[in-house]
C-alpha cells in the first residue's frame, strides 16, 4: 500500500505544479514590449541563394520580464514562408525560438523581402516584426522582363522579342518554351458581356529549344495573331532541367481597320516634321 500512496502523492504534486504554472500571470503587452525581445537582430539576410533550395533561420526571443509571456502566433507574410514556434509559454528567464523556412517562389529572381509578425496572447497588435531578405540566383537573365505588344490588331500577326542569357558557369539547355495566352474579348457591341475570356490559339515561339554556353545570350521571339478585340495576356515559360523562368506578354488589341491608339496623333506628327525641317535650315 505504501508504494501506491507514494505514487498518488507524486501525481497530485505534479498536477498542482502544472496547474500553478498554467495560472501564472502573463505580463501585460506594454511591459512585454520592453522586456520580451529578440536576442540579436530581428532582420536577417540569407545572402545569395539558389531559386530551387529552401533556406532556414531561427530567431530567438528572451523573456526578461518578471512574469510568464505567452506567444499567440507567428504569422508569415506569404505562403512561401513557414514559421514554427518552439515554445508558446515562456517563463521568466526562458527562451522561445521561431524557426523561419523560406521557399523561393518558382521563377522568382533577384532581391526578395518577407516578414513574420509575432503576436502575444491577448494583444491584437504586432509585438515584433521579424524580417528577412535574400538574393535569389537564377540560371537565366531575361531582358526585358516583359513584352508589350504595341499596335496589335485583330487578324494581323505581331511579334515581341526578349534576350535570354545563361548566368551559370556551365552549358545550359533550354528544353522547352511553352506559351499560353488569353484574349479578354470585348463583346459589348455584340450585346454580350463587356469581356469574355477566350484562350489564344494562334501563337508561336522561336526557337523552341536551344543550348547556351556560359555568359551566352540568345533572342527569343513570341509571335501571336489576335483573334478578338480587347486585352491579351500571356506567359512564356522558359524551362531548363533544374528550373524555369517566366516572361509576361500583354497588349491591347484593336479591331480590324481601327486606328492604332499607340500611334502619335496626326497633329503631333505634323508638328514633329515641322520642327525637324526648321532645325535643318
> What contacts 265, CB < 8 A, 6 or more positions away?
none
> Cα 106 vs. chain centroid, distance in angstroms?
9
Bigger pLDDT: 16 vs 200 = 200
Q: Kindly state the cell numbers that stand for 116.
A: 513574420
Residue 180 CA to residue 218 CA, distance in Å, equals 21
Mean of pLDDT values over 13-22: 46
pLDDT digits (tens, 9 = 90+) for 59-99: 999 999 999 999 999 999 999 999 999 999 999 999 999 99
Q: At 60, list the grid cell.
A: 530567438
Domains and CATH numbers, the chain: 24-137 (2.60.40.10), 140-254 (2.60.40.10)
Contact of 193 with 220, CB cutoff 8 Å: no
CA 25 from centre of chain: 41
**Percent of the chain with pLDDT strictly greater than 70:** 80
Nearest alpha-carbon partner for 262 in 151, 157, 180, 156: 151
Query: What is d(CA 231, CA 184) in angstroms, rounded to the nearest whole number?
Result: 5
pLDDT the model gives residue 280: 45
> What is the band of 266 on the pLDDT scale with cuts at 50, 70, 90?
low
**124-137, pLDDT tens digit by residue?**
999 999 999 999 98
pLDDT digits (tens, 9 = 90+) for 204-260: 999 999 999 999 999 999 999 999 999 999 999 999 998 888 999 999 999 998 888
C-alpha 81/C-alpha 56 separation (Å) is: 10
Reduced 3-state DSSP string for the chain = CHHHHHHHHHHHHHHHHHHHHHCCCECCHHHHHHHEEECCCCEEEEEEEECCCCEEEEEEEEECCCCEEEEEEEEECCCCEEEEECCCEECCCCEEEEEEEECCCCCCCEEEEEEEEEEECCCCCCCEEEEEEEEEECCEEEECCEEEEEEEECCCCEEEEEEEEECCCCCEEECECCEEEEEEEECHHHCCCCEEEEECCCEEEECCCEEECCCCEEEEEEEECCCCCEEEEEEEEEECCCCEEEEEEEEEEECCCCCCCCCCCHHHHHHHHHHHHHHCC
Measured CA to CA, the distance from residue 36 to residue 29 in angstroms comes to: 9
Q: What is the pTM of this model?
A: 0.62
- What is the rounded distance in angstroms from the CA atom of residue 266 to the CA atom of residue 272? 10
Tell me how far CA of residue 171 lies from CA of 163, 207, 211, 237, in angstroms. Answer: 17, 17, 7, 19
Contact 74/60 with Cβ under 8 angstroms? no
Amino acid at each position: 500500500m505504501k508504494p501506491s500512496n507514494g505514487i498518488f502523492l507524486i501525481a497530485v504534486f505534479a498536477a498542482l505544479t502544472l496547474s500553478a504554472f498554467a495560472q501564472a500571470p502573463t505580463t501585460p503587452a506594454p511591459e512585454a514590449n520592453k522586456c520580451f525581445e529578440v536576442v540579436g537582430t530581428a532582420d536577417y539576410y540569407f545572402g545569395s541563394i539558389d531559386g530551387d533550395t529552401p533556406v532556414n533561420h531561427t530567431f530567438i526571443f528572451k523573456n526578461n520580464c518578471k512574469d510568464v509571456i505567452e506567444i499567440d502566433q507567428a504569422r508569415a507574410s506569404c505562403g512561401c514562408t513557414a514559421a514554427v514556434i518552439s515554445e508558446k509559454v515562456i517563463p521568466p528567464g526562458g527562451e522561445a525560438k521561431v524557426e523561419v523556412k523560406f521557399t523561393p517562389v518558382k521563377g522568382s529572381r533577384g532581391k526578395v523581402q518577407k516578414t513574420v509578425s509575432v503576436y502575444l496572447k491577448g494583444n491584437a497588435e504586432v509585438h515584433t516584426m521579424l524580417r528577412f531578405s535574400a538574393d535569389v540566383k537564377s540560371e537565366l537573365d531575361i531582358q526585358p522582363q516583359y513584352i508589350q505588344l504595341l499596335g496589335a490588331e485583330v487578324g494581323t500577326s505581331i511579334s515581341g522579342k526578349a534576350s535570354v542569357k545563361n548566368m551559370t558557369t556551365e552549358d545550359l539547355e533550354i528544353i522547352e518554351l511553352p506559351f499560353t495566352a488569353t484574349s479578354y474579348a470585348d463583346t459589348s457591341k455584340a450585346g454580350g458581356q463587356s469581356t469574355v475570356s477566350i484562350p489564344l490559339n494562334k501563337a508561336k515561339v522561336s526557337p523552341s529549344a536551344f543550348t547556351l554556353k556560359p555568359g551566352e545570350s540568345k533572342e527569343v521571339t513570341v509571335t501571336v495573331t489576335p483573334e478578338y478585340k480587347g486585352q491579351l495576356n500571356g506567359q512564356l515559360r522558359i524551362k531548363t532541367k533544374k528550373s524555369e523562368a517566366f516572361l509576361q506578354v500583354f497588349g491591347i488589341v484593336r479591331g480590324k481597320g481601327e486606328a492604332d491608339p499607340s500611334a502619335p496623333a496626326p497633329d503631333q506628327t505634323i508638328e514633329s516634321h515641322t520642327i525637324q525641317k526648321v532645325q535643318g535650315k
